């Protein structure tokens, strides 16, 4: 097989030949009449159709050639006859156009005897040279790291990848549509923050040169959005890029996309009802009204009832530990060890009781939940921003939607008592000082804002990446993120 540098040199020579013959190899624009998918739906005999795309294959059979032209949503066969183009142009096309190049073509729609919708080309325009050859068609990109690092190649070579990311865009569009139609206002809040608050997670720290101070990349827009409720917004949401400097696995990324929404005068039960309506609206529009979603060999029914189960009951059923009987992290950890349960966290000895319970749940219970299930009644030390339950103040009015072993939505009735909020954040700060890197810092500006008065509020967050991972049955969450962060290449890799 030829060396990559030799292959590129041949293509550069073809590009130079184009230039020598007066061809603008980087034209400003090209006028299309149709996208390729629209052209495929035209009736035979439709004339003067102009499309553009990337050449994905090329076959020459004497006086006639067949090219496969591709854009984001489809392919179309091009039929190019020497007699239609003229001998010189026909020869020049084959001498200069490679697989991977961009061209624009004009012609008439017809269907071949083999039943293939095609365009009979009378005119072509060169639009862009691929100096580097594409991966071999039938093998595509098999190296997982290359798929993530060079997503553009993955999109070129794999139709399933394109469908996956088109689905992602449609999902977000439908979610916006639902929220906007229910009188929610979309906002943008700062990514750089003075305090790492809004969720229990280890933050990223960076330095602001102009102000000469360290700042945090937000782990959640929660506190800022709730300030907007204080300021008079009733229903507000943000599609936010969040950052958590934690471990990476098949279901977690350090930078990810969330949507968070907050509603004045609602409680968590209102949001549980509302979010079921939102999810079923999105899915019914994505899948033509069918709420029985096929995920691998499983069929999950989003149209039925969504069970509601308490945190305590779930853990008790799955491992026999009654978390209510262990009021300290030390006693709970001793019981977990006594049961022979090995948790995944590296800093297990320094976790507070809340994060310890969360790790236990993720180990023994979450993987078993397949159909949509609301998990409620979280312990208060696991939810420092949630409202205490009126009847059981050691629990919070919180819910999580879990599907197929993944947490899709997290929400609760918000804590609006400024004095109680300050007390809880002080406790979180003590945990952080004792080594729990996921505990929150106290945010005095948020406490001050709360002191101006807050109405009843309920809020929620939905992990877009994780939901799309579930819907597409992807093994790794990076499969639904266009360009996940990768370590930089340390050297120029050998290429064949």
Per-domain boundaries in the chain: 4-134, 159-307+371-480
Burial class (CB in 10 A: 0-12, 13-18, 19+), 188: exposed
Place of tokens 């340390």: 490
Name which of 394, 357, 385 is nearest 446 in CA terms. Answer: 385
- If you average pLDDT over every residue of the chain, what do you get? 92
Q: Distance of CA 352 to CAs 43, 152, 157, 201, 404, Å?
A: 67, 43, 48, 12, 27
Residue labelled with tokens 């209102």: 270
Which of 20-29, 150-159, 326-335, 486-495 shows the lowest mean pLDDT across its residues? 486-495
Give CA–CA dist 211/197, Å, rounded: 21
Closest CA to 351 of 332, 337, 323: 332
- The verdict on domain 4-134 having CATH code 3.20.20.70 is no
CA neighbor of 257 nearest in space, from 7, 469, 2: 469
Please tell me which residue, 385 or 318, carries the higher pLDDT value.
318
- The answer on pLDDT for 178 being more than 70 is yes
Q: Does the structure show a pLDDT above 80 at 155?
A: yes
How many angstroms separate the most distant Cα atoms in the chain? 88
Cα dihedral angle (304, 309, 314, 317), rounded to 10 degrees? -80
CB atoms within 10 A of CB 451: 13
Question: What average pLDDT score do residues 436-445 get?
Answer: 79
Q: Which of 97-111, 131-145, 172-186, 426-440 has the lowest mean pLDDT?
A: 131-145
Span 159-307+371-480 CATH architecture: 2-Layer Sandwich (3.30)
The pLDDT of residue 431: 82
State whether residue 436 is helix, strand or coil: coil
Q: In the 8-state DSSP scheme, what is residue 476?
A: S
pLDDT at 432: 78
pLDDT digits (tens, 9 = 90+) for 259-301: 999 999 999 999 999 999 999 999 999 999 999 999 888 899 9
Q: What is the pLDDT of residue 238?
A: 98
pLDDT band of 496, cuts 50, 70, 90: very low
């Amino acid at each position: 097989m030829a060396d990559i540098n030799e292959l590129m040199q041949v293509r550069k020579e073809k590009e130079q030949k184009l230039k020598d013959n007066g061809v603008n190899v980087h034209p400003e624009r090209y006028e299309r009449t149709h996208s390729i998918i629209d052209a495929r739906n035209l009736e035979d005999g439709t004339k003067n159709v102009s499309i553009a795309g990337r050449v994905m294959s090329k076959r020459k059979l004497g006086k006639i050639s067949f090219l496969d032209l591709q854009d984001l949503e489809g392919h179309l066969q091009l039929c190019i006859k020497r007699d239609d183009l003229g001998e010189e142009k026909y020869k020049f096309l084959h001498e200069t156009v490679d697989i991977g190049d961009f061209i624009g073509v004009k012609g008439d729609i017809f269907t071949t005897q083999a039943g293939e919708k095609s365009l009979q080309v009378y005119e072509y325009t060169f639009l862009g040279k691929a100096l580097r050859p594409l991966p071999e068609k039938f093998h595509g990109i098999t190296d997982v790291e290359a798929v993530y690092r060079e997503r553009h190649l993955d999109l070129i070579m794999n139709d399933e990848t394109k469908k996956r990311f088109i689905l992602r865009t449609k999902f977000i569009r439908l979610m916006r549509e639902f929220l906007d139609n229910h009188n929610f206002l979309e906002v943008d809040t700062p990514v750089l923050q003075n305090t790492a608050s809004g969720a229990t997670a280890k933050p990223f720290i960076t330095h602001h040169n102009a102000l000469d101070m360290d700042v945090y990349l937000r782990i959640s827009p929660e506190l800022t959005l709730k300030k907007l409720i204080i300021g008079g917004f009733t229903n507000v949401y943000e599609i936010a890029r969040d950052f958590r400097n934690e471990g990476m696995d098949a279901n977690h990324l350090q930078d990810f996309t969330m949507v968070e929404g907050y509603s004045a005068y609602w409680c968590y039960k209102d949001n549980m009802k509302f979010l079921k309506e939102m999810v079923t609206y999105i899915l019914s529009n994505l899948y033509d009204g069918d709420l029985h979603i096929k995920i691998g060999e499983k069929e999950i029914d989003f149209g039925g009832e969504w069970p509601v189960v308490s945190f305590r009951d779930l853990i008790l059923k799955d491992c026999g530990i009654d978390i209510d009987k262990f009021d300290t992290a030390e006693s709970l950890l001793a019981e977990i060890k006594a049961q022979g349960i090995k948790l995944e966290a590296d800093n297990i000895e320094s976790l507070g009781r809340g994060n310890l319970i969360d790790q236990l749940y993720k180990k023994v219970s979450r993987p078993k939940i397949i159909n949509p299930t609301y998990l409620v009644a979280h312990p208060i030390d696991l939810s420092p921003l949630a409202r205490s339950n009126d009847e059981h103040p050691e629990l919070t009015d919180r819910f999580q939607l879990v599907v197929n072993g993944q947490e899709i939505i997290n929400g609760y009735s918000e804590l609006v008592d400024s004095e109680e909020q300050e007390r809880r954040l002080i406790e979180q700060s003590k945990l952080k000082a004792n080594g729990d890197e996921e505990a929150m810092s106290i945010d005095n500006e948020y406490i001050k804002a709360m002191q101006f008065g807050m109405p009843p509020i309920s809020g929620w967050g939905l992990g877009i990446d994780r939901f799309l991972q579930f819907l597409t049955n992807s093994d790794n969450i990076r499969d639904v993120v266009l360009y996940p962060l990768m370590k930089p290449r340390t050297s120029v890799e050998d290429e064949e």
